[in-house]
Amino acid sequence: MKTIQVQGSQGVSTIYVGESLRNVGKYLPEGRKCVIITDINVKKYYEQDFPTGSSMLPIDVITISTGEEIKTLATVEIIFRELIVIGADRSTFILGIGGGIVCDITGFAASIYMRGVEFGFVSTTLLSQVDASVGGKNGVNFDSYKNMVGVFCQPKFVICDTALLKTLPSDEISNGFAEIVKHALIADAPMLDYIEVNTEKALALDSQVIARLVEDSVKLKASVVQKDEKESGERKKLNFGHTLAHALEKLKPIGHGRAVSIGMVAASSFSAKKGLITDSECKRIRKVLKSLNLPIDLNDLVNPFNELLNKSDSSMNGLSCFMDEIFSAMTKDKKKDKDKISFVFLNGIGNCIVEKITFKDLQQLFMKSNKRMRI
């Protein structure tokens, strides 16, 4: 097991990579009420391993549904009502057991229930182990805005139990690899070499390869968050590929990592157009994402985008309609600053820069890069 710490403004968060869900009891505060928040799938697979508490202090379980569409204030309200029925007070500890959606909702609900109670996570998806559960960003979507309402608040602890990944559907494993590749591209070139050499083992969830990738990702994210917890500078780099990704996610639920994969291909292509990386580096990025079963162009999303693509195929007019929809969603990004947005470009593999760019310039880069929707 590896232990990594994040020093946040309100305390330390400790991440245990390789610890088991079965041992979570020893991290819970003694003599205090604890409530678990999980989702229906995680409960189905792992309820027998959840801590149960004692006869004096049994641990209640609140179960939510799944999918990006339930990441809303309405779900937070349901949780509040259940917490009140259970009798949760300010000393209650809330434990989220699940993927990024459970962690984002649990962290947010715990941070505002009774002005804030302590919380921790057992992270059960690859994406949440390498990204979502680490760093203290908690929140929900609002109307068509992703992660629009939330707080910065560090969990007391995060347990990344890599053994839980064996029940994850393969698409969800690939979603996690997208964020791992993102870390390699923005700050860790040797990690990209390692992924290329170990692709087969990574896809087969080889325990050593997964442990190294999760640990390196957590270390990288922890060091970025420690320098800039509230995202005023350095942390913006973690948004590489996310401007387009969030726009795609708004149009259709395609999975966060898959959207990030397409977003990273586009951002790499924009970086090449600015002369910051070479065309062969762009090709290398596409190849590694493809080898991890991630989509690298909009045509790879044929199923979820079928309707729009059919419309687009019928005429160039339809095609630009589709681009317009994506672009209009991009301009609704919560991180925009009037007519500009901070955009992350690669500056070589393993390095990146954040630049403010107008939506007009971004649109030009986007349209130039999209001949027949090839990014």
Ligand X SMILES: NC(=O)c1ccc[n+]([C@@H]2O[C@H](COP(=O)([O-])OP(=O)(O)OC[C@H]3O[C@@H](n4cnc5c(N)ncnc54)[C@H](O)[C@@H]3O)[C@@H](O)[C@H]2O)c1
Torsion angles phi and psi, residue 68, rounded to 5: -60, -30
Size of the site for ligand X (CB under 6 A): 28
Tokens of 63: 């179960």
Q: Residue 126: which region, alpha, beta or left (left: phi > 0; alpha: psi -120 to 50)? A: alpha
Asked if residue 248 lies in contact with residue 254, where contact means CB atoms within 8 angstroms, the answer is yes
Q: Select 72 or 347, whichever has its Cβ closest to ligand X.
A: 72
- Using the rule CB under 6 A, is 127 a contact of ligand X? yes
Closest distance between ligand X and the C-beta of residue 70, in Å? 9
Closest distance between ligand X and the C-beta of residue 23, in Å? 16
- Using the rule CB under 6 A, is 42 a contact of ligand X? yes
Torsion angles phi and psi, residue 254, rounded to 5: -115, 0
* Residue entry with tokens 């910065």: 152
Closest distance between ligand X and the C-beta of residue 41, in Å? 3
Scanning 86-94, 123-131, 322-330, 356-364 for contacts with ligand X by CB under 6 A, the matching segment is: 123-131
Residue 327: which residues within 8 A CB-CB, separation 6 or more? 247, 359, 363, 366
CA distance linking residue 182 with residue 297, whole number of Å: 17
The catalytically annotated residue of 183, 239, 249, 258 is 239
- Burial label for 200, CB within 10 Å (0-12, 13-18, 19+), is exposed
The angle subtended at Cα 330 by Cα 101 and Cα 218, nearest 5°, is 40
183 an active-site residue? no
Tokens of 311: 């419309």
Asked if residue 326 lies in contact with residue 248, where contact means CB atoms within 8 angstroms, the answer is yes
Task: Give the nearest residue (CB) to ligand X.
Answer: 100
Closest distance between ligand X and the C-beta of residue 8, in Å? 13
Asked if residue 122 lies in contact with residue 65, where contact means CB atoms within 8 angstroms, the answer is no
CA distances from 33 to 155, 367, 371 (A): 17, 55, 58
The catalytically annotated residue of 182, 183, 237, 256 is 256
Q: Select 257 or 312, whichever has its Cβ closest to ligand X.
A: 257
240-259 residues in contact with ligand X (CB under 6 A) are: 256
Q: Which of 83, 101, 210, 308 binds ligand X (CB under 6 A)?
A: 101
47 an active-site residue? no
Scanning 122-130, 262-270, 277-285, 336-344 for contacts with ligand X by CB under 6 A, the matching segment is: 122-130
Q: Which of 1, 3, 9, 45 binds ligand X (CB under 6 A)?
A: 45
Closest distance between ligand X and the C-beta of residue 255, in Å? 7
Query: 3-state class of 168 per DSSP?
Result: coil
129-168 residues in contact with ligand X (CB under 6 A) are: 131-132, 135, 137, 147, 164, 167-168
Scanning 110-118, 120-128, 211-219, 343-351 for contacts with ligand X by CB under 6 A, the matching segment is: 120-128
242 an active-site residue? yes
Q: Which of 19, 172, 215, 229 binds ligand X (CB under 6 A)?
A: 172
179 an active-site residue? yes
Torsion angles phi and psi, residue 169, rounded to 5: -60, 150
90 an active-site residue? no
Torsion angles phi and psi, residue 354, rounded to 5: -110, 125
User: Which positions lie near ligand X, rule CB under 6 A?
Assistant: 39, 41-42, 45, 66, 68, 71, 98-102, 104, 124-125, 127-128, 131-132, 135, 137, 147, 164, 167-168, 172, 175, 256
Enumerate the active-site residues.
115, 137, 179, 221, 231, 235, 239, 242, 246, 256
